[in-house]
Structure 1
Amino acid sequence: MKKNCFMVLLIFLINTFCFSLTSAAPLYGDLNSDGDVDSLDFGICRRYLLGTTNLNDIVPADLNGDGEVDSLDFGYLRQYLLGHIKVFPIESMATPTPTDVPVTPTPDPEAWKNNTGTINLGNTITYTGEGIAVEGSIVKITSGGDHEVFGTLSNGMIYINTKERVKLRLSGVNITNSNGPAIYFDDVDKAFITLTKDTVNNLSDGSTYIYEDAKGTLFSNDNLEIKGKGTLNIISNYGHGIASDDNISIENGNITIKAVKDGLHSNDETKVSGGNIFIEAGSNAIDAGEEIDISDGTIIALSQKAVFVSEIELIITGGTIISTGSYELKPSSNSTQPSLYMNLGSSNPAGTLFRIENNTVNVLTFAPSISYNQLFFSSPMLKEGTTYNVNIGGISTGTNTNGIYYGGTYTPGNINLTTTATLIP
């Protein structure tokens, strides 16, 4: 009798377990188990890939069914949220028929670094390294490599077209081009710009382009990474200052952009993790198809239109941001650093000071070089929930660097306002 009862109980448990397996199918893409697939799940996936969070269950995040959660799954989630796909690959998978797949050697992804060279610009262009050619005043790079660039090109361009990675180390470069970009990564696996320490580099384009796909003075069709301890000055007379059809990542460097359109423009993510960036934009200061992620550095963004534009979110976790222009995109709930925002109503002429104080202690004294009626400020110095005094106008005897006044004496203007620092102002 006991044996029969045990068998009945065992069968019941097995059936219950099998039923739970078949009835609890995962909602793919729902990483926080709230029943929806949205930007919150996108943020969780991103932080998991960066190693800043864990997943309780990888099944909803494995969107292509390969047993891993990686950048491919991140890409599928992005396409789903943007409406480019309706279902994830795992949801339309059929059971594969095993086949014998020939094993082919995996190419060395770092082989491009072995092709090092130099490019000396001038009336006569000279170079070393493989996959480089000169046609008139255009330097063409058709192989992956790591090249240091020197000199001046008065009406020409560096043009890159290869499936490999290419790094250009700018070491005192001056390039102007009357009919296109100064540097054009037409097709690469990834583009790298390194600003050599203590060098000043200047890039400018023309007011018309003969290259239909190019969008800015420094343009890449693929991921673009910029870093270094030098200076880069960019003037855009046609389109954007720095543009990429994929991601833009700025790690450090001193970068000044004056553009008739956007300062930084990417079709995917724009990430700033360091550096000193000054932008004067005729359109938007930073425009990204995906998220804008700012974790460090100093950004001064002066815009005739919107300061930040993103189809996903603006994340601020560090750095100093001073901006004027319309404020259409607020920091998302993933932001951890407080910010201040003020709509001043009427426009103030270029050069009009504003000063932010905490109990008479100066936090920021700044004079935008364009007219403004809105201002935004985010800094590690701000404390969430603290109310700050903002004075418009006045005079400072301090030293002006890109609009920021250091030291000196400040004589207040006639307009006194207050605002409170919050994570989402």
Structure 2
Amino acid sequence: MLNWKCLGFTSLLSLGLIAACSSDSSTTPKDDAGTISEDLSGNTTNVCVYDGYAAMQGASGETLCLDTEGTLAFWINTDGSYGFPEATPGPTENNSEKPVETSTDVGTTTPSDSTVSADKPAEDSTDSGSANETESCTAEKALYTVNGISYYKEPTGNIYYFDADCNKISLTATVPESSASQPGNSSAAEPTSSESQSPVSSSSNDTPAISSTTVVTPSNGSLPTITYAASGATVENNNNCVTITGGEVVITCAGDYDFSGTYSGADAQIRVYSPKSDSGVYLNLRGLTLTNTADAPIYSQMSSKTFVVAKSGTTNTLSDGSTRTKSYTYVNSNNETKVDTTGACIYAKDDLTIKGEGTLIVKGNYNNGIHTSNDLRFRGTTTINVTAANNGLKGKGIVDIENGNITIAATNGDGIKSDEGEDEGSVVDNKGIVNIKGGNITITKAGDDGIQAYNYIIVQDSVSEPTIKVTSTGKGIVSDNRVYINAGKIDISSGDDGVHSNQNVYFNGGYTTIAAPKNDGVHADSTLMINDGTIYVTNSYEGLEAWYIKANGGITDVYGTDDAWNAAGGNDGSGNTNQGGQSNWGFGPGGGMGGRMGSSSGFLTITGGVHHAKTGSGDTDGIDSNGELTISGGVVIVECQISGGMGGSFDADGSASLTSKTVLGFSSGSSEKGTNYNVSFTTGNYYGTSNIAFKPTISGRYMVATTGQPAQVSNTSSYQKSVTFPSGSSVYYNE
């Protein structure tokens, strides 16, 4: 025997491994993979074979050498060098996308001053796509890391890693015959029953229990393949974790499972009941049409993570029954006996990820389309079409959308929903969140709100620029606490407010178009902060409304049949009296100003940006504050069609200060605030001062300016800058 101090560790290995020492390696022939191709007797072999070692191909071309227990002993790199493992704790789920909670005073605009820029939550840092950064792929601990790639082991003994798209890649080498773990060995360990952990349904009492021992992988290395036909389901390459009764398939351990075929019946169900200590369960859909006439076609009762994968080039359709007659009694990971009824077409109790490059059609005839009691994630470029009697997508903890083409029709509920914390009436850390990082989302119908979250909603472009189109009977985008629009192209048509928060709304980027003819375009019970991006309110009762409105930048183009901008306290406090809004002043859980606001309170401050505000006719105000009004910067154009009443282009119940040089007001009546000039104007000409010029879309005889009497402008070429608003009008100005 040889003491291998020359390789950096002390292990007694057979003489067959002597060639691995550096003094001899230069004279030892190697194949392309860097493995030794001859032993000392001249026989062609792989170095890992000695002393019962098995060779497996690693992710980067290296040869992994495993002992008889399937444990990595060492590896051989492609250049012939050797490496030796050290135990590596696996990554845990990173939920850094949630901004740190802060106080909700008006002056607090940053979720965490120490970690994020003004008014923006920290951008999500998970799921970066690097193969050795597997936070989003699994919460399991890695066995070891080789050349930056983490490897994991299933209860079956299968060793695998994740590629950049979080696809599981299994290693396919065969463990040598020497133990009960060898497939086909009569002494191989078989799954044992555990009555306390056996899931039981009202229609089937024969569900197998979770195995308490290691389950072997079929010797041919193929995945379990389940095929549906008229008679039910059949399985090939069963890994002893698949039990079939007619059309009911129960999976009791982690791993990949392929599904295809067509079946309809009250027993058409894929049910996952896998220990949470296992790695994830992958349900690979390869052309599956599954119609459950009485229940959910996919039900994940327990698992660490369940992945529903629509494979490339396939179309997969899942439909559930319109009623529920079954209940399920099972023991969860806390050893608690639970009774459950499925509430969606795809229904999960634990984390659920939808991914792949194929097409997935989900028909939720009973309640929700896709639902999990924990976190719901979307990865890959899947085309997803969801119809639902209630909510389209619901992740109680989180809905996290990174990619995909998602179309949703929710007859009576919300298009997308995350509501953890709502029942408790307080925010739960990292929960109650809708985080949209990319993809194309179209909500063709929402019987209630389009996108709803209790904690906060963030639209960002950390993966790609998202596009979102919402048509809803209720609000378009709504949160009980906060809404962040940081990026993306958003188009909202809503029966209630377009964007709404019971606390704060932040615009930090993106292009948002809103049509909310009966209510507010954007409404925040506390603060509306506009830092960047474009807001185009094509129609509304009041365009922008909040207790405190502050515009530091961005472009806004707003039309309101009443007020275009309105700073007023309370829940839809000064809005349409036909809104049916809350009657009490105040703010959402953990938010607002912490007190009761009267109808005469409010603050409106403009320090930057380019803004166009237009009103309908009647007792209307262009930019109105029920408290103080300050315009110290930015470009502000107001067209107010007031006819009777008081207010006009600029109105404030408290003090008003209009000092920006680039302010113009056009009105058919005088303005309460600002300097009025009796200057007639028509729609065919530009009017303004040496600092600003605009061609109005209305006619009248009262103008407001801040740098002297305005007049008709015949030539706009002298102005340094210009902006064309989404509605088509252009403003020219000098800074």
Normalising to structure 1: TM-score of the pair? 0.59
Alpha-carbon distance change, 207 to 34 in structure 1, aligned in 2, over 3 angstroms: closer
Instruction: Quote the residue 2:311 is aligned against.
Output: 196
Instruction: Quote the residue 1:247 is aligned against.
Output: 375
Instruction: Say if 2:343 and 2:371, in contact at 8 Å, map to a contact too.
Output: yes
Instruction: Quote the residue 1:279 is aligned against.
Output: 408
The range that moved more, 115-124 or 220-229, is 115-124
Instruction: Quote the residue 2:660 is aligned against.
Output: none
Equivalent residue of 2:437, what SS? strand
Alpha-carbon distance change, 374 to 171 in structure 1, aligned in 2, over 3 angstroms: farther
Instruction: Say if 1:342 and 1:419, in contact at 8 Å, map to a contact too.
Output: no
- For residues 307-328 of structure 1, the C-alpha deviation after alignment (integer angstroms, 9 at most, x for no partner) is 1221110100140000011226
**Percent of pairs identical after alignment?**
21
- Once residues 348 and 354 of structure 2 are traced to their aligned partners in structure 1, the CA distance between those partners, rounded to angstroms, is 12
Taking the TM superposition and a 5 Å limit, the aligned residue runs for 1:334-373 are 334-337=484-487, 339=490, 341=492
Instruction: Say if 2:470 and 2:492, in contact at 8 Å, map to a contact too.
Output: no
- For residues 21-59 of structure 1, the C-alpha deviation after alignment (integer angstroms, 9 at most, x for no partner) is xxxxxxxx996887999993599698487279xxxxxxx
Instruction: Quote the residue 2:302 is aligned against.
Output: 187
Instruction: Say if 1:323 and 1:375, in contact at 8 Å, map to a contact too.
Output: no
Alpha-carbon distance change, 287 to 419 in structure 1, aligned in 2, over 3 angstroms: farther
Give yes or no for the alignment of 1:119 onto 2:222: no
Taking the TM superposition and a 5 Å limit, the aligned residue runs for 1:22-101 are 40=111, 47=122, 50=125
Instruction: Quote the residue 1:257 is aligned against.
Output: 386
Alpha-carbon distance change, 141 to 44 in structure 1, aligned in 2, over 3 angstroms: farther
Instruction: Say if 1:143 and 1:162, in contact at 8 Å, map to a contact too.
Output: yes
Instruction: Quote the residue 2:455 is aligned against.
Output: 312
Q: 1:208 aligns with which of 320, 323, 341?
A: 323
Q: 2:238 aligns with which of 106, 126, 129?
A: 129
- Once residues 305 and 150 of structure 1 are traced to their aligned partners in structure 2, the CA distance between those partners, rounded to angstroms, is 35
Equivalent residue of 2:111, what SS? helix
Alpha-carbon distance change, 152 to 32 in structure 1, aligned in 2, over 3 angstroms: closer
Q: Count how many residue pairs are aligned between Structure 1 and Structure 2.
A: 292
Alpha-carbon distance change, 230 to 35 in structure 1, aligned in 2, over 3 angstroms: closer
Taking the TM superposition and a 5 Å limit, the aligned residue runs for 1:211-222 are 211=327, 212-222=340-350
Instruction: Quote the residue 1:144 is aligned against.
Output: 254
Letter in 1 for 2:487: Q
- Once residues 335 and 217 of structure 1 are traced to their aligned partners in structure 2, the CA distance between those partners, rounded to angstroms, is 31
Higher RCO (Cα < 8 Å, 6 or more apart) = 1
Of structures 1 and 2, the larger Rg is shown by 2
Aligned-residue offset at 1:387: 3.2
Instruction: Quote the residue 1:162 is aligned against.
Output: 274
State the Cα RMSD in Å. Answer: 4.3
- Once residues 294 and 389 of structure 2 are traced to their aligned partners in structure 1, the CA distance between those partners, rounded to angstroms, is 15
Instruction: Quote the residue 2:54 is aligned against.
Output: none
Letter in 2 for 1:195: A
- Once residues 143 and 296 of structure 2 are traced to their aligned partners in structure 1, the CA distance between those partners, rounded to angstroms, is 35
- Once residues 364 and 286 of structure 2 are traced to their aligned partners in structure 1, the CA distance between those partners, rounded to angstroms, is 21
Letter in 2 for 1:217: C
Alpha-carbon distance change, 333 to 313 in structure 1, aligned in 2, over 3 angstroms: closer
Equivalent residue of 2:438, what SS? strand
Q: 1:296 aligns with which of 424, 438, 446?
A: 438
- Once residues 286 and 157 of structure 1 are traced to their aligned partners in structure 2, the CA distance between those partners, rounded to angstroms, is 24
Alpha-carbon distance change, 280 to 230 in structure 1, aligned in 2, over 3 angstroms: same
Instruction: Say if 2:368 and 2:390, in contact at 8 Å, map to a contact too.
Output: yes
Letter in 2 for 1:111: E
Instruction: Say if 1:244 and 1:265, in contact at 8 Å, map to a contact too.
Output: yes
Ranges in structure 2 where 5+ consecutive residues have no aligned partner:
1-97, 128-134, 136-141, 145-150, 161-169, 171-216, 218-222, 328-339, 421-431, 497-511, 523-532, 537-553, 560-696, 698-724, 728-735
- Once residues 213 and 203 of structure 1 are traced to their aligned partners in structure 2, the CA distance between those partners, rounded to angstroms, is 18
Equivalent residue of 1:305, what SS? coil
Give yes or no for the alignment of 1:225 onto 2:353: yes
Instruction: Say if 1:322 and 1:376, in contact at 8 Å, map to a contact too.
Output: no
- Once residues 185 and 42 of structure 1 are traced to their aligned partners in structure 2, the CA distance between those partners, rounded to angstroms, is 40
Ranges in structure 1 where 5+ consecutive residues have no aligned partner:
1-28, 53-70, 72-104, 346-362, 367-371, 390-415, 421-425
Alpha-carbon distance change, 225 to 30 in structure 1, aligned in 2, over 3 angstroms: closer
- Once residues 153 and 495 of structure 2 are traced to their aligned partners in structure 1, the CA distance between those partners, rounded to angstroms, is 52
Instruction: Say if 2:391 and 2:417, in contact at 8 Å, map to a contact too.
Output: yes
Instruction: Say if 1:342 and 1:375, in contact at 8 Å, map to a contact too.
Output: no
Instruction: Say if 2:257 and 2:282, in contact at 8 Å, map to a contact too.
Output: yes
Alpha-carbon distance change, 208 to 386 in structure 1, aligned in 2, over 3 angstroms: same
Alpha-carbon distance change, 182 to 381 in structure 1, aligned in 2, over 3 angstroms: farther
**Larger helix proportion of the pair:** 1
Q: 1:329 aligns with which of 469, 474, 478?
A: 478
Equivalent residue of 1:284, what SS? coil
